[in-house]
Structure 1
Amino acid sequence: MQDEKLRYFSIEEMVALPTYMGLAISPDGGKVAYVERLTDWDKNRYLDLVWSYDKTSRQRVLVTSDKNGGSRPQWSLDGQQLAYVSSVEDDGEHKPQLFVRSEEDGRTVQVTTSKDGIGSYLFSPDGCGVYFLSQRPNEALKKRKEGYGDIEYVDVDYGRQTLYYVDLENARQYNDRFSMPKSLREDEGNRAEARLCVDRSDLHILEFDVSPDGQTIVFSAAPSPNFEDMSQYALYRFDVATKEVVHLHTGQLEGRIEGQVAFSPDGESFVFTHRTGDGKMFRNNALVIYHLLSGEIQSLPVDIDEQLSVVAWTEAGIVIQWQNRTNRWIERIELDGSRTSVVTGDGVQAFGASVSLDGHAVAYIQSTGSLPLDVYVDGHRITDLQERYTAHEVSERRVVSWQSRDGSEIEGVLCVPGDFDSSKRYPLLVVVHGGPTWASFPSPTQDKYYPIEQFIERGFIVLLPNYRGSSGYGEAFRALNERNLGIGDYEDVVTGVESLVHAGFADPERVGVMGWSQGGYISAFCTTFSRRFRAVSVGAGISNWVTYYVNTDIHPFTRHYLGDTPWRDPEVYRKTSPMTYIEQAATPTLIQHGDKDSRVPLPNAFELYQGLKDVGVETQLVVFKGMQHGSDKPGWNRAIMHQNYAWFCHHIFGDPLDAFWL
């Protein structure tokens, strides 16, 4: 009897697939906490749940409830307390607050009540308290709002983060009050409040670490949270006993510091990263050791042509993550620059690493060409997303390469059906990733914007190009679209299409392109600059660099890539803007955008939409009310995917557009 043919995921099933994040391995390596993101259709939300997994018993325990869930778990040094962040309602607003669970009795208490919620946090080494970041209260702003209404002085009214400490025993004693009737409780004034540590109104703290003896904290800070101040990041030391804050001088590295800091096991040094060269965001970064006693700076000779992310400084060395083409690896680095593999290999993509104090136990999220992103601990898989994929038909992923017009080698991922026939010509769709410093990987899809598996089932093949600027291919490759955005990127996309046409299995008359964010910008460029495509979808994309520059919340991004402001170099803004070529546009274009998007503000969408209408090109703009730069609601993801599916099937296969209207 022949096996029944497996079916592809539906769009709703794809949206509802769980994703994993927020890994935290206990210091002794015996337990792992992780976050599972689930879909709550009834409340139209994604719900994050914290799980705890015991390596010895191989049992997992749900730590958080399904009411508010939780995220960002972290263990105390002795492994007897597990903290996490959960949303708490206060005066109609939900803010992230810290909760701590005792492993001994399973009791969980809320330990912060910050009006603005909390950012990153760390247990004190003795386990008696927690340091966390939160905004400084600003009574002047509160009084101004009460007297005059909600007014903002742009580039003045900043909410700067600073460092606080909360005593856990005091927090537990306060929570004990609620086990008594209200009439018997002690006065509310006994409530345990967090203690302000760094009393500096001129600093916005980004990241921090606590020394193993608990006596010193190092942190990175900028004058404000404004992205313009990224070039003024600096390092500081905070003495826990004296409360003294000291600026740590880094000489010629000033102005190129990044946020990452991590103490050495002996507490005498810490590692940080800085951008190399001119400090632009697409440059490599480098690892540097700061010796606290001498103030000496020691650069590590790491032979990796990529951007590095520090996981931790362990007894076995500094653990880093980095991307090698379409692989993502975890390695340990010694002070002489020598490297030891932790999780590597061709076809391996490892994310979100967490390591034990000795550096030998590691938890991570891993995918390969045939297996989806599951949680692993020391090579052992502890979640079960793989089982869901093996019960469905899934596209095959192949790494392909081609030459762009200027001779640059471009890689991409080609998605084809299991019964792919290279002698047949397939309609082709191109899905362009965002970033630009990100990449597409040859692993099973979890895309919640574009229905790749449904496209494959319908008869398409799908190309995911890692165009110039993508991560994983070195600094020179990331810099190729400097002052050449859109133009060089377009050439990488269209030559990828041509290579598949030349290979004989892509139909040159039935090609579409889509993308979100930077991918949306490249798609917008495709719709105005080219007539290669039958249909285009622009998600949260830039249409005019001047419009973008004056509206976005990250102005330095534009100056780093285009080289200057539009007032001093209008020509580079003109030639790289899709709107410059609007008169030659001819391709039916779907535009999807959130009305609360501060990264790529909504005027970009309206400008492209009106321009296409004025030149007689079929277009439809869909505005998602309340959505920021990306979707955080399953209903929105479902709508985005159904709209794209209907749009491309209509314009390439002639299907009715009825389903587009949901």
Structure 2
Amino acid sequence: MNYFSPLILLACLVGTYAGLAQAPTIDQSIAMKSVSNPQLSPNGRWVAYTLTRANWDDNAYDTDIWIANTATGDKFQLTHSKKSNSSPAWSPDGKWLAFLSTRDEKAQLYVISPTGGEARPVSKFETGVTAFKWSPTGKQLIFSATVPDIKTDKERKEKYSDYEVVRDDYKMVHLYLLDSLDKEKPAVAKALTKGIGFSVGSFVVSPDGKKIAFDASKNPDIINGHTSDLYVLTLGDTITRKIVSLKGPDQNPVWSPDGQQIAFTTANENEFYFYSNRLIATIPATGGTPKTLTNTFDENASLLEWTVSGILFSGYQKTAAHLFSIDPASLKIDRLTKPDKLIATQFSFSKDGRQMAFVGAMPNQYPEIQTSIVSAFAPRVLTDMGTQLASYKTATREVVSWKSVDGNDIEGILIKPANYDPARKYPLLVVIHGGPTGIDLPSVTADRYYPVEQFAAKGALVLRPNYRGSAGYGSKFRALNVKNLGLGDYDDVISGVDYLIGKGMVDKDKVGAMGWSQGGYISAFITTYSDRFKATSVGAGISNWATYYQNTDITPFTRQYLQGTPWDNADVYQKTSPISYINRAKTPTLIQHGELDKRVPIANAYELRLALEDKGVPVKMVVYKGFGHGITKPKSMRQVMEENYRWFSKYIWGESL
């Protein structure tokens, strides 16, 4: 027997706690499969969906398309090629599925029979396909793509090698038409939009197939997202007209069933769109004055479909997520899904709008592909992802709430060991979500970044707080950390810690915190602002808002939340920056960051690391080569999770690993 096999080494790594063998290992957690993007066939009889799994051999997360029968639940894998196959879309007659595949490196369009067989390529576009839609005739596909290099671009690269003029060198995204889908070789795409006047975002074809509604911004730079407006293109002559131009982003057009109106999401002249509610509005397809519909819905309304029965949209309600319908005439809103605690997302609908498919879960359940009649909700579960957990004894999740320092109600997800003993006091690990408009939910998903199941099995409580700014609690709650980032967030976290200590559940001397992105920023704030925590882990976190503002690719985010720039609002930038409190810092800190992160540039990590080192605070920094803001490969995810496991095992449990 090889006593140094990977499995034995992993067992040594994760310790000998009695309940540990009953929890999934880090590798097993990373390898958990997940389903998403259910697409109901026009007749409602079939659902195409994607299944994602870890491919350890190629160090990738691979996605394939599966088909399920909505009546029998029978299912089969439709695509089997190497690389990922995603974004399935039914032809209007239901005889074909189009999808995107990276089997030739760049994403291209393929079509396949839903009964199986070989997929046929229908595009060979130089830059790859971004998104696509079927024409209602089923004889054409419209797609968006980044424009290829023109002759002068190629000559420039040849003469000077490659370089970029910042805020000037943009490659626009435009619309293209494929109208020869029955040929053996991919057809040449016809450009429908051109030039440097705008860059296309989402788009949809009118019911009669003669027009395309789309949103487009000044250029593809994320800092110009607020310039997104609505356009209508006539396919016959490719003439484009702008029909909506409100302050803030206007996006996601959806046609009315008769093709006379267009629904869309809008900030409705609110310049602070990062934390204000996105509303649904309608406008005549020829242009006019927009009419907002969802003013009484105090959350972001995610527009889905316009059927003869009303406009369908989804939205969070605290730690639940539901489907809603609004009558565009009376503005009456009805919730269509139940019970209250259901978490339902990613909806699609049959051609007549009477049936739907979605990803759904109740608390402590794994998300599954489900179907139901729209008007009489009675879900049928088609997948069995939850069986992956059958051989493990996993932690349990429940929603808890407490009062923050300023009296605001805060909720969070409390994760307890499977063998939780109410007579014991446990170590507490706080895992903080990103966003800040993210949200933690009580459903079960595969661990990423932080080995929650391993921590619970080792004997810890895990708290995932939905701190101020989180989605699901209304626009006022999302705005509570404006000019108050870090400070208000810390109050929400520490009051949750004190709540659990007061309940007699937590050992106050064994508390740690961790998070990625905005969660990494709050963890960095905890590092320098507080001495209450034994250890922290800062994943892709901000340490200095001025450094962040000067380097990030999303400067409007900072200007909105901090109400200005470092040049005109220096006091706010200073008081909300972890680095401002470095002289207080005592907490051992693990820093993890992607080398090529543009969202939170790695200068933030180096700044925090050096400051902690100068102050004599234990610090370790790990840089993930080739990665941006997220870790997208399973082997690197393994290192992230094992690094966190070792860090907290040392500082919370006193182990030497």
* TM-score when normalising by structure 1: 0.93
Cα distance in structure 2, aligned partners of 1:16 and 1:5:
18
Q: How far did residue 278 of structure 1 move?
A: 3.5
Amino acid in the other structure paired with 2:158? E
Cα distance in structure 2, aligned partners of 1:278 and 1:150:
36
Q: How far did residue 423 of structure 1 move?
A: 2.7
Q: How far did residue 298 of structure 1 move?
A: 2.2
Task: Render the CA deviation track for 1:177-198: whole Å, top value 9, x for unaligned.
Answer: xxxxxxxxxxxxxx72100011
Do the aligned residues in 2 keep the contact of 1:47 with 1:66 (CA within 8 Å)? Answer: no
Do the aligned residues in 2 keep the contact of 1:520 with 1:540 (CA within 8 Å)? Answer: yes
Identity %: 39
- Structure 2 residue 132 is matched with structure 1 residue 102: no
Pairing of 1:428-507 with structure 2 (within 5 A) = 428-507=428-507
Cα distance in structure 1, aligned partners of 2:284 and 2:544:
47
Q: How far did residue 308 of structure 1 move?
A: 1.1
Q: Quick check: 103-112 or 642-651, which moved more?
A: 103-112
Task: Render the CA deviation track for 1:393-448: whole Å, top value 9, x for unaligned.
Answer: 11111111111111111111111123322232111100000111011111224221
The corresponding residue for 1:309 is: 302
The corresponding residue for 2:536 is: 536
Q: Quick check: 144-153 or 103-112, which moved more?
A: 103-112
3-state secondary structure, aligned to 2:640:
helix
Cα distance in structure 2, aligned partners of 1:249 and 1:455:
50
Change beyond 3 A, Cα 1:648–1:294: closer
Cα distance in structure 2, aligned partners of 1:629 and 1:590:
17
| One of 75, 78, 83 as aligned partner of 1:63 | 78
Amino acid in the other structure paired with 1:433? H
Task: Render the CA deviation track for 1:358-413: whole Å, top value 9, x for unaligned.
Answer: 22211111121121111112211111111122331111111111111111111111
Cα distance in structure 2, aligned partners of 1:214 and 1:575:
55
Pairing of 1:226-265 with structure 2 (within 5 A) = 226-250=221-245, 254-265=246-257
- Structure 2 residue 567 is matched with structure 1 residue 567: yes
The corresponding residue for 2:7 is: none
Pairing of 1:57-206 with structure 2 (within 5 A) = 57-89=72-104, 94-103=105-114, 106-139=117-150, 140-169=152-181, 172-175=182-185, 192-206=187-201
Q: Quick check: 389-398 or 629-638, which moved more?
A: 389-398
The corresponding residue for 1:546 is: 546
Q: List runs of 5+ in structure 1 lacking aligned partners.
A: 176-190, 658-662
The corresponding residue for 1:324 is: 317
Q: How far did residue 479 of structure 1 move?
A: 0.0
- Structure 2 residue 349 is matched with structure 1 residue 355: yes
The corresponding residue for 1:608 is: 608
Cα distance in structure 2, aligned partners of 1:435 and 1:568:
25
What is the root-mean-square deviation of aligned Cα atoms in Å?
A: 1.6
Q: How far did residue 572 of structure 1 move?
A: 0.8
| One of 332, 342, 360 as aligned partner of 2:336 | 342
Do the aligned residues in 2 keep the contact of 1:50 with 1:69 (CA within 8 Å)? Answer: no
Q: Quick check: 94-103 or 489-498, which moved more?
A: 94-103
Q: How far did residue 295 of structure 1 move?
A: 2.6
Cα distance in structure 2, aligned partners of 1:142 and 1:308:
44
Amino acid in the other structure paired with 1:21? S
The corresponding residue for 2:387 is: 387
3-state secondary structure, aligned to 1:639:
helix
Cα distance in structure 2, aligned partners of 1:154 and 1:301:
39
Q: List runs of 5+ in structure 2 lacking aligned partners.
A: 1-18, 373-378
Task: Render the CA deviation track for 1:613-637: whole Å, top value 9, x for unaligned.
Answer: 0000000000011111111101111
Change beyond 3 A, Cα 1:53–1:590: same
Change beyond 3 A, Cα 1:357–1:332: farther
The corresponding residue for 1:267 is: 259
Cα distance in structure 1, aligned partners of 2:156 and 2:114:
45
Amino acid in the other structure paired with 1:565? T
Cα distance in structure 1, aligned partners of 2:155 and 2:103:
24
Amino acid in the other structure paired with 2:369? V
Q: Quick check: 331-340 or 400-409, which moved more?
A: 331-340
Cα distance in structure 1, aligned partners of 2:442 and 2:420:
16
Change beyond 3 A, Cα 1:592–1:85: same
Change beyond 3 A, Cα 1:509–1:229: same
Change beyond 3 A, Cα 1:356–1:34: same
| One of 33, 36, 47 as aligned partner of 1:18 | 33
Cα distance in structure 2, aligned partners of 1:535 and 1:33:
45
Pairing of 1:589-604 with structure 2 (within 5 A) = 589-604=589-604
Do the aligned residues in 1 keep the contact of 2:78 with 2:116 (CA within 8 Å)? Answer: no
Task: Render the CA deviation track for 1:106-160: whole Å, top value 9, x for unaligned.
Answer: 4421111111111111001100010000112231222101111001111111111
Q: How far did residue 104 of structure 1 move?
A: 7.0
Cα distance in structure 1, aligned partners of 2:20 and 2:646:
25
| One of 365, 370, 384 as aligned partner of 2:364 | 370
Cα distance in structure 2, aligned partners of 1:625 and 1:6:
32
3-state secondary structure, aligned to 2:22:
coil
Amino acid in the other structure paired with 2:459? G
Amino acid in the other structure paired with 1:356? S
Q: Quick check: 522-531 or 230-239, which moved more?
A: 230-239
Do the aligned residues in 2 keep the contact of 1:481 with 1:561 (CA within 8 Å)? Answer: yes
Cα distance in structure 2, aligned partners of 1:579 and 1:469:
22
Do the aligned residues in 1 keep the contact of 2:192 with 2:238 (CA within 8 Å)? Answer: yes
Q: How far did residue 344 of structure 1 move?
A: 3.0
Task: Render the CA deviation track for 1:239-280: whole Å, top value 9, x for unaligned.
Answer: 111211111145xxx122332111111111110011143443
The corresponding residue for 1:285 is: 278
Do the aligned residues in 2 keep the contact of 1:302 with 1:338 (CA within 8 Å)? Answer: no
| Paired positions, count | 630
Do the aligned residues in 2 keep the contact of 1:271 with 1:288 (CA within 8 Å)? Answer: yes
Q: How far did residue 520 of structure 1 move?
A: 0.3
3-state secondary structure, aligned to 1:621:
strand
Cα distance in structure 2, aligned partners of 1:604 and 1:69:
33
Cα distance in structure 1, aligned partners of 2:534 and 2:575:
24
Do the aligned residues in 1 keep the contact of 2:433 with 2:464 (CA within 8 Å)? Answer: yes
Which contiguous aligned blocks of 4+ residues in structure 1 show a shift greater than 6 angstroms? none
- Structure 2 residue 54 is matched with structure 1 residue 39: yes
Change beyond 3 A, Cα 1:128–1:104: farther
Q: How far did residue 329 of structure 1 move?
A: 0.6
Do the aligned residues in 2 keep the contact of 1:426 with 1:506 (CA within 8 Å)? Answer: yes
Cα distance in structure 2, aligned partners of 1:435 and 1:504:
31
The corresponding residue for 2:14 is: none
Do the aligned residues in 2 keep the contact of 1:50 with 1:70 (CA within 8 Å)? Answer: yes
Cα distance in structure 2, aligned partners of 1:66 and 1:110:
13
Cα distance in structure 2, aligned partners of 1:525 and 1:201:
42
Amino acid in the other structure paired with 1:579? I
The corresponding residue for 1:180 is: none
3-state secondary structure, aligned to 1:343:
coil
3-state secondary structure, aligned to 2:107:
strand
